[in-house]
Amino acid sequence: MNKIPLLILHAGALQHPMERFAREFRSLFPEVEVRLESAGSRACARKLLGGYQADIIALADPLLFDELLLPHPVQKYYIFATDQIVITHQTGARGSADINPQNWTQILLRDEVSFVRSDENLDPCGYRTLMVWQLAEKHYGVPGLYQQLNSKCTAAYVYPKSLDLGAVLQGREADYAFQYLCTAKQYGLDYVTLPEKINLSNPRWAGLYGHATVEVEGKTPGSKTILIGEPIEFAAAVPLNAPHPKEANEFLQLTLSHTGQRILEECGLVVY
């Protein structure tokens, strides 16, 4: 019997939980073959906008649904988890014996230290990293800090999606990366937590986060849009053109269930 193919298009940061969901779903619905495809969330959204057919789309920023995908090809979405930005590194990275939440800016700006981030035009972790740098400049009272960090992290140190950064660190191609806490835990990386006022984790500081803005590529070629800092959230939806809507909704319900919440927590995310 041919199995029903269920395609999940998802943010790279959700790779591990989606693999867990896929295994769980296959055990419940053996007639379904779950297929996973990952990219930066903005890249995922643009792919769907271009007519690509997926049964589920799960993104690292619900704003992408509002900005690019509603009311078509997505009618509604569900927010299911939160996270925070941390600085990840491998044991033995240059400066890792000294780095902490107070001095990380000085460590990263050392000549011998390198750090990476994801692309703000493809991946929410990329523009959130730039927002963290802007907020850090104000939080620590260091004029020009954002520009210093941005100038040092040249194009050679910018990758398509946040999930790529773990492999970069494991290959010792850079010392540090700006990633989600869930990705750090999934890769088993050491990490430095940042103050809540800059790590985009706490709705209490949403007004403060809103002082950070980043310009990214817009909905149409050549256009630009300004993104405003907000607490980090992850969201998922069943597109209107999903080839297998019944099975897709079953998968979405698993994601939102108690079992799904347990899986998300075990993968380092904070569930609603």
How far is residue 179's CA from residue 139's CA, in Å, rounded to a whole number?
A: 20
What pLDDT is recorded for position 89?
A: 98
What pLDDT is recorded for position 42?
A: 93
Q: Is residue 202 part of a domain?
A: yes
Domain count, the chain: 2
Domain carrying residue 255:
4-81+234-271
Round the average pLDDT of the chain to a whole number and report it.
97
Q: Is residue 229 part of a domain?
A: no
pLDDT tens for each residue of 32-56: 999 999 999 999 999 999 999 999 9
What pLDDT is recorded for position 220?
A: 86
How far is residue 269's CA from residue 70's CA, in Å, rounded to a whole number?
A: 26
Same domain, yes or no: 51 and 64: yes
Same domain, yes or no: 205 and 94: yes
Same domain, yes or no: 200 and 254: no
CATH number at residue 170: 3.40.190.10
Dihedral sign of CA atoms 271, 211, 13, 121 in order: positive
Same domain, yes or no: 139 and 193: yes
Q: pLDDT band for 272, please (50, 70, 90 cuts).
A: confident
Look up residue 11 and give its two tokens: 């943010």
- Residue 189: in which H helix or E strand, if any? none
Backbone angles phi, psi at 102, to 5 degrees: -95, -35
The pLDDT of residue 1 is above 80:
no
Same domain, yes or no: 37 and 65: yes
What pLDDT is recorded for position 119?
A: 97
Same domain, yes or no: 12 and 97: no
Looking at residues 1-16, what average pLDDT do you find?
94
How far is residue 130's CA from residue 151's CA, in Å, rounded to a whole number?
A: 11
What pLDDT is recorded for position 269?
A: 95
Identify the residue whose tokens are 């509604």.
76
Share of the chain above pLDDT 70, in %: 100
Looking at residues 249-255, what average pLDDT do you find?
98
Same domain, yes or no: 101 and 128: yes
Q: Is residue 204 part of a domain?
A: yes
Same domain, yes or no: 138 and 39: no
pLDDT tens for each residue of 61-77: 999 999 999 999 999 99
pLDDT tens for each residue of 12-26: 999 999 999 999 999
Q: Is residue 226 part of a domain?
A: no
Burial of 144 (0-12, 13-18, 19+ CB in 10 A): exposed
Same domain, yes or no: 109 and 168: yes
Looking at residues 230-247, what average pLDDT do you find?
98
Please compute, for residue 137, the number of CA atoms within 13 A of its CA located in the half-sphere on the CB side.
15
Looking at residues 98-120, what average pLDDT do you find?
98
Q: Which residue, among 111, 104, 149, has the nearest Cα to 129 in the 3D structure?
A: 149
pLDDT tens for each residue of 198-213: 999 999 999 999 999 9
What pLDDT is recorded for position 221?
A: 86
Contact 86, 181 (CB under 8 A): yes
What pLDDT is recorded for position 125?
A: 97
The residues pairing with 85 across neighbouring beta strands, listed in sequence order, are: 180
Q: Is residue 23 part of a domain?
A: yes
The residues pairing with 36 across neighbouring beta strands, listed in sequence order, are: 8
